[in-house]
Amino acid sequence: MALRLAMAAGFAALAVSLTACQDGSMGGGVPLRALTPVPAKTLALMAQKGMSTNDPILIRAYKKEAEMEVWKRGTNGQYALLKTFPICRWSGQLGPKTKQGDRQAPEGFYTVTPGQMNPNSSYYLSFDTGYPNTYDRANGRTGNYIMVHGTCSSSGCFAMTDESMGELYALARDSFAGGQRAFQFQSYPFRMTAQNFAKYRNDPNAPFWKNLKEGSDYFEALRDEPRVNVCGTRYVFGGQDVAAGSCSPKVDTLVAEKRAHDNQQIAELIAKGTPATRVVYDDGGQNPVFRPQAPPSTLAFANLTKKDEPEGPYDPKDYARHHLGEVSRPESLAAGEREIEVDAKGRPVMIAAAEAPIPTKAAAAALKASSDKTKPGSVVAKKDAAPEPQKPARVMVADADADSPSYTKVLGSLFTPKTSPTPATPSADAATIPAAVAAETVQPAQKPGKPVHTAHIPSAHVLNAPSVTGAVGPKATTVAEPAKAGKAPGNATSPASKTASTKAAPSKEAAAKDAAPKAMTAAPKL
């Protein structure tokens, strides 16, 4: 009892030169905020759960969920959850801190003593997590003074609001005053559930996280603080045998049952198709309770639909009034977290927005037929191709730069201006222009000397022309054989040919007038 009174009396005079996230130090005196009592609401919660202010504590932190839990040990020797605090800011990514300046908040099992409490922190109040511990040093990790502190700004620390940090500080202070020599600080990337391990199974940090889960399983199965040892470059968790230095401790039955149950559940989730993912942040995150809330009217409506849902670990209204101070890198918080699917080696799986169509035998045969060098106007039969079902008539939307409007495909050149001839479209098929095909079957016989209207040529001939592009001059006219007498030279689809195919033959006088300019043009220059 005398020892406890001495510790309580001397606690306020502690002066240890520490910094919060490598900034700030203890001065000569102790500020009043370090002596603030535990809030009355929390004291009432303790009484409700059969706890006292001087009972030992244990703290657990979860990055992804951005939550920090305070547990207290009761008279039965087991820990029970007292209260959950939302983390206002943590930086970096999921995964352990490995070197100085990487902005990573540490992950692992740490020990916090009274000497690591900093009442004069530049960030309101703070305590040093104890990074690097024996495990970190065994794995070559560097850095120091990684804190839990107030003010919502982090460069590798766990940042709380000033109000939350004041309460955490008071809970730890009273436990030390009650005789606890040190409390355990457990830091995790996320809650150690089967669902999370199934999702993040291919993350590069997965082996390390499985090692952390061994300590988490011990605590959750027995509600007791695990003894921690380091053998080689791995954590070892257990009871008194671990405390004695054993690297092969006996596993408690309850702990073994929990591990077996979780492993079976992980295997089932993977078998059901749970994708392997990684979580990526621009620079850490924060609890959603600190993000801008929806309008009150929207919240009121949402509350009506959530009557059956369990109450959360904290009331958002309480934390909406907390002063956050200068929030670090708000643009990174606005970006939020992103889950990326990864392969067995942890590499991102790139999913194409649209898959390319799979070529069929019929398409390959058609492609081969169009590339064969055959006589102009001939139709190449498809070999070894199963007959395709008849397609319904359709109108294709033409490209503005390379194709004719859709209505010309259906109605031929009926509405085509004389000043803009419309060439045959190689991409059209017989189903696209049913009206043109029908017109071909009822076309009256042409008189000698009249060019044939090529808009009525069946599309099969066009598809098998020797050259899809650049078919001009005599080659273009070989698609259909007009009468040999009076064959019109040039492009058969010119405005002149279209007019000749629909109007009567001109008179001799008109022909003479039409021939006069041509004769003048042919005359030699003087």
pLDDT at 15: 39
pLDDT at 295: 56
pLDDT at 323: 73
Confidence of residue 294 (pLDDT cuts 50, 70, 90): low
Kindly state the tokens that stand for 346. 């942890």
CA distance 504 to 486: 15
Looking at per-residue confidence, does 26 or 297 come out higher? Answer: 297
Average pLDDT over residues 79-100: 96
Indicate the angle between helix axes 206-222 and 253-271, nearest 10 degrees.
Answer: 130
CA distance 364 to 26: 79
Residue 10 has pLDDT above 90, yes or no: no
Confidence of residue 363 (pLDDT cuts 50, 70, 90): low
Looking at per-residue confidence, does 265 or 517 come out higher? Answer: 265
| DSSP structural state of residue 34 | G
Confidence of residue 378 (pLDDT cuts 50, 70, 90): very low
CA distance 481 to 464: 15
Confidence of residue 467 (pLDDT cuts 50, 70, 90): very low
pLDDT at 189: 98
CA distance 159 to 303: 29
Residue 208 has pLDDT above 70, yes or no: yes
Q: Which range, of 160-164, 272-276, 315-319, averages the lowest pLDDT?
A: 315-319
State the catalytic residue, choosing from 21, 149, 152, 456: 149
Kindly state the tokens that stand for 232. 């080689």
Residue 420 has pLDDT above 70, yes or no: no
pLDDT at 312: 58
pLDDT at 4: 52
Out of 18-27, 164-173, 316-325, 367-376, the most confident range is 164-173
Which residue in this structure is represented by tokens 């010119």?
A: 494
State the catalytic residue, choosing from 21, 88, 152, 157: 157
pLDDT at 406: 40
Instruction: Give the E-state strand segments of 299-448 in sequence order.
Output: 338-341
pLDDT at 318: 75
Confidence of residue 394 (pLDDT cuts 50, 70, 90): very low
pLDDT at 326: 80
CA distance 508 to 480: 29
Average pLDDT over residues 318-323: 72
Average pLDDT of the chain to the nearest whole number: 74
Residue 272 has pLDDT above 50, yes or no: yes
Instruction: Give the E-state strand segments of 338-425 in sequence order.
Output: 338-341
* Catalytic residue list contains 157: yes
pLDDT tens digits, 343-352:
998 889 875 4
Residue 435 has pLDDT above 60, yes or no: no
DSSP of 54-107? TS-EEEEEETTTTEEEEEEE-TTS-EEEEEEEE--EE-S-SS---STTS-PPP-
DSSP of 279-308? EE-SS-B--GGGSPPPPHHHHHHHHHTTTT
Residue 405 has pLDDT above 80, yes or no: no
pLDDT tens digits, 171-205:
999 999 999 999 999 999 999 999 999 999 999 99
Q: What percent of the chain has pLDDT over 70?
A: 57
Q: What percent of the chain has pLDDT over 90?
A: 50
CA distance 188 to 38: 26
Cis peptide before 249 (omega within 30 of 0): no
Residue 356 has pLDDT above 60, yes or no: no
